[in-house]
């Protein structure tokens, strides 16, 4: 098995879905790409899910990840929004499974502990540590993409070879 891995991290949503791609091994990771998939706010929900799947497939084709990490949902203040994010997360998981990509689910607590060393770290602390670990000149933005890079880093640490 090759020593370097390419990992896609995903911060799930349905309006804006963060993604981050890193490459390396458990000791050293480098930034490949990050950004957001944004679905059409004027489309109905089912069409947005189709758009999400198509855009995710394009990312998979472009970056050819070996593995993926996806953030687990732990609560939602708004149940309707939480259900829609859960449905989008299902589309993401199904798309990754159909593509034959192993998935590591990551909780926000795991991400903070793995990257900052403290489970109650603030978002700014997390983003700064992501910047340092990936040797970026500035903190990654937007927040969804930064979170996705954090998910990718954490998945890289947690995944079995």
Give me the CATH topology for the region 5-158.
Nucleotidyltransferase; domain 5 (3.30.420)
- What is the pTM for the complete model shown? 0.94
Q: Would you say 7 and 67 are in contact if contact means Cβ atoms under 8 Å apart?
A: yes
pLDDT along the chain (161 residues), means of 10: 86 95 91 98 97 98 98 74 91 98 94 92 93 94 96 88 52
Structure tokens at 84: 């829609």
Beta bridge partners of residue 18, listed in sequence order: 11, 36
Structure tokens at 38: 């944004």
What share of residues in the chain are helix, strand, coil (percent, to 5)?
45, 25, 30
71 part of the active site: yes
In degrees and rounded to multiples of 5, residue 41 shows phi and psi of: -65, -20
Q: Would you say 25 and 85 are in contact if contact means Cβ atoms under 8 Å apart?
A: no
Q: Give the up-direction half-sphere exposure of residue 128: CA atoms within 13 A in the CB hemisphere.
A: 7
Q: Would you say 10 and 19 are in contact if contact means Cβ atoms under 8 Å apart?
A: yes
pLDDT of residue 15: 93
pLDDT of residue 160: 64
pLDDT of residue 159: 73
Residue in 23, 44, 144, 147 annotated catalytic: 144
11 part of the active site: yes
Residue in 11, 51, 98, 143 annotated catalytic: 11
Structure tokens at 158: 């947690």
Residue in 71, 122, 143, 147 annotated catalytic: 71
Rg (CA), the chain: 15
């Amino acid at each position: 098995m090759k020593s370097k891995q390419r990992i896609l991290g995903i911060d799930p949503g349905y309006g804006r879905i963060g993604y981050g791609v890193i490459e390396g091994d458990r000791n050293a990771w480098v930034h490949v790409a990050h950004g957001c998939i944004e679905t059409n706010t004027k489309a109905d929900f089912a069409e947005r899910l189709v758009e999400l799947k198509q855009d995710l497939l394009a990312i998979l084709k472009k970056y050819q990840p070996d593995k993926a990490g996806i953030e687990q949902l732990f609560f939602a203040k708004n149940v309707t929004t939480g259900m829609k994010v859960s449905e989008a997360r299902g589309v993401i998981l199904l798309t990754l499974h159909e593509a034959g990509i192993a998935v590591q689910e990551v909780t926000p607590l795991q991400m903070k502990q793995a990257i900052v060393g403290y489970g109650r770290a603030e978002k700014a602390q997390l983003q700064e540590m992501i910047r340092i670990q990936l040797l970026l000149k500035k903190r990654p933005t937007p927040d969804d993409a930064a979170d996705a890079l954090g998910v990718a880093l954490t998945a890289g640490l947690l995944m079995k070879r």
